[in-house]
Chains A and B, each alone.
Chain A
Amino acid sequence: MKKLLISISLFIPFAAFIYCFLLIIWGTFAPSSFQKNLNYRIGGHMYERIREAQLTSKVDILFLGSSHSYRGFDPRIFKKGGFSTFNLGSSSQSPLQTEVLLKRYLIHFKPNIIIYEVYPGTFSSDGVESSINILANDKNDMESIKMSLIQNHIKVYNALIFSFYKNYSANNPDELKSDLKEDDEYISGGYVQKKEMYNNRKSYKKNKWKLNNDQFSAFEKTINLIKKENIRLILVQAPITESYYSSFSNNLDFDNKMKSYGEYYNFNELLQLDDSLHFYDSNHLNQSGVEVFNAEILKTIKM
């Protein structure tokens, strides 16, 4: 028995070392179709956003949330309205990742107002995609490890190991470009503007949000952190197309839950937008839609 315990206690670090070693070799040299559980995507808007965030200090408004945030709050419009802003949204950012980003950058930005875009879809997700996005594009620390342990997902662990290696090796400039979409333009302040496009109307099957309790507990921690810092918090549900929004039967439940956390506005209910003219797909506003939406947000802030 003693011999077995000794063998196991030697094998575990040995296997961990070999695993990390092979992962780095595999991640560096294997074709992407062979990297099934290593979706490490450096570059794109998150890389640029994080680099800019590291050089920015003190803003009036900090935006948090998913792609609805970084494609929905245009810093140029807010600047005209008299506010300096930064948009820390990221793809499919769920509350688990918001918590990590906020802990890293809240002191840095010292905002007066936080506009937190809350979307039931991110509260229903496992948050894997967004975790990988953050691990791949930001420097990693204990918070990254903690987030990975909470997610407890092999893709997140693999991305974590690979990101530690990448943090200590120079990034290839080609990789940084590989994730960019041609019709996207990064705007200083964390915003991404889409080339003017219009949504094709579609109908959707009836559906229901399956909200994830882990996401709510991370969300509550974030809310408490913001409240502790005496920052005005505005929870916002950004508009999506009416046809898609109304396909979900439990929107009201989500609204009621959000209202219990404080100042909350669901712009799907407050704004009358056109599914085609103001959106470029079912989930995202085009620039005309952003202008209408942001004007309403400015009014709300000034209330």
Chain B
Amino acid sequence: MLFNSFNFAIFLPLVLTLYWIISSKHLKVQNILLLISSYFFYACWDWKFLFLLIFSTSLDYLTGIQIAESNNERIRRFWLWLSIAINLGFLGIFKYYDFFAQSFSEGLLQLGFHVNPWTLNLILPVGISFYTFHGLSYVIDIYHKKIQAERNIVDYSLFVSFFPLLVAGPIERATHLLPQIQKKREFNYNKVTDGLKQILWGLFKKMVIADNCAYYADLIFNNSENHSGSTLLVGAVLFSFQIYGDFSGYSDIALGTARLFGIELLQNFAFPYFSRDISEFWRRWHISLTTWFRDYIYIPLGGNRVSILKKIRNTFIIFLVSGFWHGANWTFIFWGALNALFFLPLLLTNRNRLNLEIVAKHRIFPNFIEFINIVSTFLLCTFTWIFFRSENINQAVSIIITIFSTSIVQIPEIFPFYIIILLIFFIAVEWLGREGNYAIENIVIKWKRPIRWAYYSALLFLIGMFMQTEETAFIYFQF
């Protein structure tokens, strides 16, 4: 069941009505209803994988209790590593086994040995990378005594499986979400309308921006060898907007949906394409994953408080792991490595925390330097996205060579003018709303109701006029 599907448009109001009207007085009933709805939502993808989700949930629930109850460090460590091993084991089998088998066989072939790899060809359970990370952070936090183990199985299961975040995040922390699940939620008109607004903006990002860009980006990338450098550059820029519209659109819908139920999820995107350098970009892009890696890998490795060599090592580790998390392909790993390369000079010169606030705060326009920095950071990101989007490294390299050839000055063969106009509108709205949590949060809030509503209706109209008529899945579902 996709967020941008007709089925979800029926499912959500139905669950919401039951939640607020029938079960509003009883927290337990609310949580049970949300859990059943979440499992139903997940089973709509593939009911067989529901068992895997329940198994993973039960494993972390039980190991969490075992760790919390034991005072013996060895036993505590045993349960921690058991949980990590099984969680990552499942992730490894479903997501990475075929990749390793294939790569191993290719490596042997280079040495002159021909081996037929034994591959499993398993379907990747949707959301496995996300709920595995939910569970891992929970168990690790208990081990480090940052939180207590949750004894209520319904509350814990809901923390892992809450349907807005189940299939593509944001990756929540127990410290943030569990207390909200345990606390009685009161209906709040302002929160609900705010949630609806965020859903609307998320749908616009996905259905208008991402899906339209996707059509042309696919057209260009799928036939990249026959296009000029200028067309490939258009394709790369369109993909940059596609992936942003798609994933941040999903996150907006997830956050908005959760807010309808009185639950606040972690902000996942904070206008990353207005970043002035690559380190600011990474503080604003897929925030819940970046902070997860920071807290559970980078800091335990020593973080910044180590020698320069170790700093470099740690940076490469988290970016490579981040790339690998996205998928079992060398393109993702290369994408991660490139980001590490772009990030390192800033880290080593202590310039990685220069831009903490949003650009041009309380001003309408950025100054010239800021503008140049934003554009160059965007182009740098676009350069790395070429690897992310390409089928293999060879294709990515070939695209980059063509972009840097003389054909860059040719008139692009594919130049969808209507998308350029939509993108200008999109960037303008995002720019105006960049000091909020999402673009349209505060834009027309002070205006009179008819103008506000006309604005929202106009967004609905743009969705109706420009949406793709085929249902399109979100990119991050494959991760």
Q: Which residue numbers of A lie inside 8 Å of B, CB to CB?
A: 1, 3-4, 7, 11, 14-15, 18-19, 22-23, 26, 33-38, 128, 152-155, 157-158
Contact = CB atoms under 8 A, between A and B. Distances in A.
B456 interface: yes
A4 B465 contact: no
Interface of B: 6, 20-21, 187, 189, 192-193, 212, 417-418, 421, 450, 453-454, 456-458, 460-461, 464-467, 469
A18 B450 CA distance: 11
B457 A4 contact: no
Contacts of B458: 18, 22
Contact of B465 (A7, A11, A14, A26): A26
A1 B21 contact: yes
A128 B20 CA distance: 39
B30 to A, nearest CB: 14
Contacts of B450: 14
A2 to B, nearest CB: 9
B461 A19 contact: yes
Nearest to A36: B466
27 contacts: A1-B187, A4-B193, A11-B453, A11-B456, A15-B453, A15-B460, A18-B453, A18-B461, A19-B460, A19-B461, A22-B457, A22-B461, A23-B461, A23-B464, A33-B418, A34-B418, A34-B421, A35-B465, A36-B212, A36-B465, A37-B467, A37-B469, A152-B6, A153-B469, A154-B464, A155-B469, A157-B464
B20 A1 contact: yes
Nearest to A26: B465
Contacts of B460: 15, 18-19
Nearest to A22: B461
Contacts of A23: 461, 464-465
B464 A7 contact: no
A14 B457 contact: yes
Nearest to B187: A1
B464 A19 contact: yes
A33 B417 contact: yes
Contacts of B189: 3-4
Q: Which 9 A-B pairs have the closest CB atoms?
A: A18-B457, A15-B457, A22-B461, A19-B461, A34-B418, A36-B466, A3-B189, A37-B465, A33-B418
A11 B193 CA distance: 12
B469 A18 contact: no
A128 B461 CA distance: 20
Contact of B192 (A4, A34, A154, A158): A4
A158 B454 contact: no
Contact of A7 (B21, B187, B193, B461): B193
Contact of A37 (B187, B192, B454, B464): B464
A111 B215 CA distance: 47
A23 B461 CA distance: 7
A166 B275 CA distance: 48
Contacts of B453: 11, 14-15, 18
A128 to B, nearest CB: 8
A34 B193 CA distance: 31
Contacts of A11: 453, 456
Contacts of B193: 4, 7
Contacts of A37: 464-467, 469
A152 to B, nearest CB: 7
Contacts of B212: 36
B479 to A, nearest CB: 29
Contacts of B421: 34
Nearest to A14: B453
Contacts of B466: 36-37
B415 to A, nearest CB: 11
Contacts of B456: 11, 15
Nearest to B462: A22
Contacts of B6: 152
A135 to B, nearest CB: 16
Nearest to B208: A36
Contacts of A158: 464-465
A59 B450 CA distance: 55
A150 to B, nearest CB: 14
A4 B457 CA distance: 17
Contacts of B464: 19, 23, 37, 154, 157-158
Contacts of B187: 1
A158 B464 CA distance: 8
Nearest to A25: B461
Contacts of B20: 1
A30 to B, nearest CB: 9
A22 B453 CA distance: 14
Contacts of A36: 212, 418, 465-466
Given A14-B450, A18-B453, A152-B6, 20 more contacts: A1-B20, A4-B189, A4-B192, A7-B193, A18-B457, A18-B458, A18-B460, A23-B461, A23-B464, A26-B461, A26-B465, A33-B417, A33-B418, A36-B418, A36-B465, A37-B469, A154-B464, A154-B467, A155-B469, A158-B465
A154 B457 CA distance: 16
A7 B465 CA distance: 25
